[in-house]
Amino acid sequence: MWQAIWLLPLLGSATVLLPNELPGNYNLTEQGAQSFVNDYNTTSENVFYESVLASWEYNTNLTIANQEKQIAASLKEQAFNEAWGNKAKQLFDSILPSFKDKQLKKLISKIRILGVANLPVDERERYNTILSQMDNIYSTAKVCPPGVSDKCWSLDPDLTNLLATSRNYKKLLYAWEGWHNQSGVPLREKYPEFVKLSNKASTMDNYTDTGDYWRSWYESPTFEDDLEKIYKQLEPLYLNLHAFVRRKLYEHYGSKYINLKGPIPAHLLGNMWAQQWNNIYDMMIPFPNKPNMDVTQTMVDQKWNATHMFRVSEEFFTSLGLIGMPQEFWDKSMLEKPDDREVVCHASAWDFYNRKDFRIKQCTTVTMEQLFTVHHEMGHIEYYLQYKDQPVTFRGGANPGFHEALGDVLSLSVSTPKHLKEIGLLDMVTDDEESDLNYLLKMALEKIAFLPFGYLIDQWRWGVFSGRTPPERYNYEWWYLRTKYQGICPPVPRTEEHFDPGAKFHIPGNTPYIRYFVSFILQFQFHQKLCQLSNHTGSLHKCDIYRNKEAGAMLETVLSAGSSRPWQEILKNATGVDHMDASSLLEYFQPLTQWLEKQNQNETLGWPDFEWRPPVPEGYPEGIDKIADETAAKEFLSRFNDTAEKVWNVYSEASWAYNTNITEHNKQIMLQKNLDMSTHTLQYGLEARNFDYTDFQDESTKRILKKLSDIERAGLPENELKEYNNILSSMETKYSVAEVCRDNGKCHPLDPDLTEVLAKSRDYSDLLFAWKGWRDASGKQIRQEYKRYVELSNKAARLNGHSDNGAFWRSLYETPTFEQDLETLYTEMQPLYLNLHAYVRRALYKKYGAENINLKGPIPAHVLGNMWAQSWANIYDLVVPFPGATQVDATPAMVAKGWNAKKMFEQSDHFFTSLGLLPMPQEFWEKSMLEKPTDGRQVVCHASAWDFYNRRDFRIKQCTVVTMDDLITVHHEMGHVQYFLQYKDQPISFRDGANPGFHEAIGDVLALSVSTPKHLNKIGLLDKVETNHESDINYLMSIALDKIAFLPFGYLMDQWRWKVFDGRISEKEYNKEWWNLRLKYQGLCPPVPRSEEDFDPGAKFHVPANVPYVRYFVSFVIQFQFHEALCKAAKQTGALHECDIYQSKEAGTLLGDVMKLGFSKPWPEAMKMITGQPNMTAIPLLKYFEPLIKWLEEENKKNGDILGWPEYDWVPGTKKAEETGKVSFLGMDLSSGQAAAGQWILLVLGLGLVVATSYLAYKVLSSKRKRSVSELELQ
């Protein structure tokens, strides 16, 4: 830019006029004036041609050299105007009032206006330089995407298309802000100087300022008042359109970005300047099922190009009997954007003043909107052609608005469905009220939306030129007017450092703009008259004047006059009225006006919240390239849902086949289907990440995309994904086929053999054999694989934006305070657990003696009736509070009555249907595995419920045995299937529990009813129900041994894994920290020494199977919340532990409604639906066990039992020192003196060993014998 300024002195010679370009000598008479005008006309054609040509060459090839030529030509043109204008003043000012020829008088008056030529040459040069610089800044401005510098967006077509087609709030904002900053801000310092020079030139022509000069072209002393009156006529229609559009934008972008009583953010209206809103028509369509009048796609399909669009436009003009384009037009116009140079893309029509060369410069794209622009620009050319033989001074519109109106008035015909069908862009015309309203709204988004913008631009400039708006208030006043008239606001804060008016071409291009407002009024006046001449009847908006010669003749009369007569006279001759009037426009839009008024009955018209501004989006400008089209997102999710059902079903079938028949063949099929599922998850997960759903209105769409974007392990590279899947399969297989063998060769699987040993045996050694044997056979075998599993799990989690795999698991609860909430819950329940622990410990002490049970220490983990001491229900016989009172164990009755697995499941199904819930489908009974097969197959016995994702196939896999404990498990698993059934019609991503704990709780909450004596009596498994304190305590004890005993285990399982995942527990301390947690929370210890060669966590199914476990802790808390709520719904009174909701349809409805939600709502909403409040709380659980709590506290106090385990380092198999007088030393029971002597002996031996070792090391090193690599590896 500086080069142009530096070169200005070199341009002086180019501004010198040739002798034949200077005015001669003329008589001071009217005849002399006529000769003057004739010479001026001839000479000006040559000078103006040179000036226009230089400007054309610069605008179509933005180079420094062309800029220099343009400035030189402009200076020459101004010198020409100065010479001839001053001559006119000098010769004819004194006699001009006496001229009889009004046309001659008018010509002389116009020639004597010098404009910029009034300025001294240096100021004139500066003025032209500023204009050229501003033009260059605007035309070369680009917006670069974040982090990109080589592929930036120009205004046309990049930013224009982006504003038109994107619905991404952030991306629109980035484009809008970027353009306003890149184009407007650099102009800020130049514009005040331009205003000063422009005003100086205007005042020298006796105008008050440049705005006064511009308004003089309209030859009306009441011009400003007339405009205001017209705007007031139009304002009600605009306000209704604004309110309707605002509501539609609100529905799309929501209350965060749209205030229904405020202005609309300026970047959301489909156009960089919000001057026309037709590009957002797709969001506004009143009747979407009616034909869409946007023929853009048809144009593309029919392979229209720029030339064809202009040929179609030309044919419209010639069909009216008007002039076709000359050959020069087709040879020299720039109808498309060149690939090889920078150009000014703003569409414009050019008259080269030689009466044969007329061109258009337009970066045409094939769209319906551009087709209208083509007709607009061709209208200018037709005007040029019609008045080309007028004197140069009269080669212009009757007023500037006339010139703009002529192309647009044809577009009113071109855009009609009738005409679009005529030219092959519509197959048929639908003629009904709804289609009409669709069409009129589209036209209103172009025409009515424009009116306040067309009015305010020069309102702002007139204020600037007059001094009412000083430079320090440029931007403030700009946005004040835009909010006042348009009801729009900037989407980000704007200050006086910005210059947002400069982001509109006409400001740096110094093109007056009120002409467009005027043209939008005049075009409807002309249209109405042309339609009358065409004998059109019916609605004005349906009129098409195509091929009507009478209409063409009227247009020819208007066009050929140029500006030779007052525009009022030309208008009256054409239309019958001599003033601008909006009544024709209002008649055109009358049907739409009435419809909008009905739509807006409850809307606020206007924007009383005048100062409201939208917030800046979170994370802006990150994520601008993501898709923010909510409709596209819904289409994507529909596609995902359809394909996922198929892929997940195939995997589920393969996994079922493997789990019910463990073979290498089935394993390989399952692994391949797992990979297929991961590929699908990866494909759609990555696609989901392309959406920016932050501001979507549909919460379900946002929720699914968020969930789907977490692709979990599918994000791993393919080789690592295969490795991960193989590790999981291997670990689960080792667990499932593990057996413990006795010396006699008899081997025992976990289910049912070892489980039965732990449950029924009371032989300390036999229990120890089963306990230790299972851990040696299962957990120890997978330790090395688990380390790699942790690495890969963490990598997958980090690829999904989580800090580690534990963080991912916790994220499923959508609660930032989840860990703290769990700790609070555990703390609330800990006193109950400590009392139960102390009570059970004393009972075990009575059974196994002081050598095996320490009343102040932890309990050995193998004596609690369960392989993992997670439930103590199987030692109820050892701890029953009142042996003489009723004890609730339905197992004997079930066996006696011949119950089998199917009967147990049928009974559970009956419980659900008694609540009005869904029965199991036939596929369930035909395909489930309800008992352990006897055909030799190895199976995964761990009970589980299966959803096959086809909305009809649901199964359970369980090695059921006929016990009350398994009856409870049956209800638990059936609860899962009932959940599946209830949410089966949700999108596949929502077919899950509200949180993982919900899924576990549903079956368990029914088990709280099933296990009551009242219910067991109803179903024939208990002869009588005793209601007394002792029976209640017995019953509550049986429940507590299952529910309360479980709580610390349910809590610590994932405490351990979370710490493993985040590195707080290293691989070298897996087992040590496992037992530390079991000691801390459960008060348990291993019955035999454990080391880091062992891997006791792996002896629990959920660890090798990669199943998070804290869900069970959560479920054990919330099931009591559910139970209390369901009991209230069932109108049960009395103690909570006596409640049985069997056959309560009210309870079933409440439960079913929650299950139907699946994962579609955050779990606090589901919690509130069922309990009336959104939080997890232990209060209902404590209420349930309240009688037992009091009894345990009294019993422990009576026995003098210690709560907790202060002697935490006690080892089973040794009596307490104070009881025996002996201590354990090297596995031997010795007196204190013997142990002390032994310590001294060990010390002496140790010192001797150190000396001997040092000597041997010296001998080895001194031998200097080199060993082979193979020998080193062997050692």
Instruction: Identify the pLDDT of residue 885.
Output: 85
Looking from the CA of 374 toward its CB, the CA atoms found within 13 Å total 28
C-alpha triplet 1032, 1033, 1036: angle, nearest 5°: 85
Mean pLDDT of 361-388: 94
pLDDT, position 378: 95
Rounded Cα gap, residues 175 and 158, in angstroms: 10
pLDDT over 90 at 1263, yes or no: no
- Average pLDDT, integer, range 551-562: 96
By the 8 A CB rule, do 289 and 419 touch?
A: no
Query: Residue 1272 pLDDT > 50, yes or no?
Result: no
The set of residues, in sequence order, having a beta carbon less than 8 Å from that of 482 and lying 6+ positions away, is 266, 453, 456, 488, 489
pLDDT at 1229 (0 to 100): 43
State the average pLDDT over residues 618-638: 88
CA distance 1016 to 1030: 18
What DSSP character marks residue 397?
A: -
Residue 962: the pLDDT is 95
Cα four-point dihedral sign 1258, 1260, 1264, 1269 = negative
Residue-wise burial string across 692-727, b where 16 or more C-beta atoms lie within 10 A, e elsewhere:
bbbbbeeebbbbbbebbbbbbbbbbeeebbbbbbeb
Q: How confident is the model at residue 887 (pLDDT cuts 50, 70, 90)?
A: confident
Residue 266 amino acid letter: A
Q: Which pLDDT belongs to residue 1262?
A: 33
Position 759 scores a pLDDT of 94
Q: Which of 506, 748, 971, 1015 is catalytic?
A: 506
Position 13 confidence tier, pLDDT thresholds 50, 70, 90: very low
Which among 971, 1102, 1123, 1137 is annotated as catalytic? 1102
Q: What is the pLDDT of residue 1251?
A: 37
- Determine contact, residues 1150/1134, Cβ cutoff 8 Å: no
- Mean pLDDT for all residues in the chain: 91
Task: Determine the pLDDT at residue 569.
Answer: 96
User: Whose structure tokens read 């797992």?
Assistant: 674
Query: Using an 8 Å Cβ cutoff, are 1040 and 1191 in contact?
Result: no
Interhelix angle 1070-1077/1046-1062, rounded to 10 degrees, is: 150
pLDDT of the residue at 1216: 52
756 is catalytic: no
Active-site entry in 77, 973, 1073, 1124: 973
- When pLDDT is averaged across residues 374-391 and rounded to a whole number, the result is 95
For the question of residue 506 being annotated catalytic, the response is yes
Catalytic residue among 314, 377, 404, 630: 377
In the chain, the percentage of residues whose pLDDT exceeds 90 is: 83
Q: pLDDT digit string (tens) for 232-282? A: 999 999 999 999 999 999 998 889 999 999 999 999 999 999 999 999 999
For residues 1152 and 985, give the distance between their C-alpha atoms in angstroms, rounded to a whole number.
Answer: 13
* CA distance to 587, 827, 891, per residue, from 824 (Å): 71, 5, 37
Q: Retrieve residue 1221's tokens.
A: 């007088």
Cβ atoms within 10 A of the Cβ of 606, count?
15
**Which residues does 1216 contact at the CB level (< 8 Å), separation at least 6?**
850, 854, 856, 1207, 1210
Mapped onto helix, strand or coil, the DSSP state of residue 351 is strand
- Please name which of 578, 556, 567 lies closest in space to residue 379, comparing C-alpha atoms: 556
What band does 1215 get if pLDDT is binned at 50, 70 and 90?
low
Q: Which of 695, 626, 589 is closest to 265 using CA atoms?
A: 695
pTM for the complete prediction?
0.70
d(CA 31, CA 877): 134
pLDDT at 754: 95
Give yes or no for residue 893 having a pLDDT over 60: yes
Predicted local confidence at residue 1247, as pLDDT: 42
Examine the residue annotation and report whether 377 is marked as an active-site residue of this protein. yes
In this model, does residue 969 exceed pLDDT 80?
A: yes
In this predicted structure, the answer to whether residue 1235 has a pLDDT above a threshold of 70 is no
Of 581-585, 623-627, 919-923, least confident by mean pLDDT is 623-627
Q: How far is CA 12 from the centre of its chain?
A: 59
pLDDT classification of 1254: cutoffs 50, 70, 90: very low
pLDDT at 929 exceeding the cut of 90: yes
Q: What mean pLDDT do residues 1071-1087 have?
A: 97
Distance in angstroms (rounded) separating the CA atoms of residues 1188 and 1200: 18
The lowest-confidence range among 193-202, 858-867, 1259-1268 is: 1259-1268
